[in-house]
Amino acid sequence: MKKRELGKSGIFVSEISLGCMSLPNDKEKAKAIIDTALEAGINFFDTADLYDSGKNEMIVGSLLKEKRDDIILSTKVGNERIAGEDGWRWNPKKAYIMEAVKESLRRLKTDYIDLYQLHGGTMEDDASETIDAFETLKKEGIIRQYGISSIRPNVINRFLKKSNAVSVMMQYSLLDRRPEEWFSMIHDEGASIITRGTLAKGLLTNDGLVKADQLNGFAEYSTSEMKETVKMLLEETANLHATAIAFNLQNEAIASTVIGASTKEQLLDTILAYEADVSQSDLKALENKLHLHKYQEHRV
């Protein structure tokens, strides 16, 4: 498993990272997935305090505590749950972040977080206050680096230009190329991209047509366009799963692609796909056949 640097942080993460949101609540089943990831050389594990009301962090922490010095651990903050109420509210204020990180540390069974990410963001936020919280946590040694998880171009642009963020997590795949417009800006600001949604809800696997029947369109694709595009991709590729991963990792601005797995077998499929050969010429040919949409919202 190759590794890439997150921005200019000195932190090197595996090209495939494990998105822990999909881990089962059954600890033994989750352990089988975590162990498979570690055996494959995956060192980057991503969770969030929002996932399953913090229970996901607890599972991840308990399963990785013995490997803490060997792995890169990432979690997110910004979605505050209200005691006794369903749902959550957006809260990027410093006071909340400074308290929330303590709870994440407790659940994760660690005394530091490698990458702490703002889990969203709006143009109405006081970005300077949020950044001050992260910088304070860095100085205190509670976090090593910080980033933002967002698909909103204006939010990302402002956050990067005002901060020392090393990463931006965003949805990106063969079927959602909207972020490409911002790759150069992110790279020029010294940050790396962490992609999620790489397999587009399973559309970019060899079972893509089965998944297409279960979805009502995807990203900017209508239902019919989505099905036609997935059919074309399956016809044009020997291994769509492998092609989807290789497509994301071909860009130097991308440090890692987050892949979720709810079973050991799903993760093994991804590892095999990562190890498969995909030619650059085949990837380039596909680019010319796929739409390059642009975000229509969240723009000045």
Longest dimension (CA), the chain: 55
pLDDT at residue 299, as a whole number: 61
Residue 170 domain flag: yes
Count of alpha carbons within 13 Å of 205, Cβ hemisphere only? 18
> Domain containing 43: what range?
3-201+244-279
Residue 126 domain flag: yes
Residue 228 domain flag: no
The string of DSSP codes covering 203-234 is TTSTTHHHHHTT-S-BTTB-HHHHHHHHHHHH
Residue 214 domain flag: no
CA distance linking residue 239 with residue 164, whole number of Å? 38
Mean pLDDT by 10 residues, the chain (300 residues): 96 97 94 97 95 91 95 93 79 95 97 96 90 98 96 90 96 94 93 96 94 94 96 94 96 95 95 94 88 75
Q: How many CB atoms within 10 Å of residue 250?
A: 13
CA distance linking residue 247 with residue 126, whole number of Å? 35
Q: Which residues are catalytic?
A: 51
Residue 90 domain flag: yes
For the entire predicted model, the pTM comes to 0.94
CA distance linking residue 24 with residue 191, whole number of Å? 32
Which neighbouring-strand residues pair with 256?
194
How many structural domains compose the chain? Answer: 1
CB-based contact 202:208 (threshold 8 Å): yes
CB-based contact 219:175 (threshold 8 Å): yes
CATH of residue 116's domain is: 3.20.20.100
Q: For residue 82, what are the contacts with CB-CB under 8 A and spacing of at least 6?
A: 88, 89
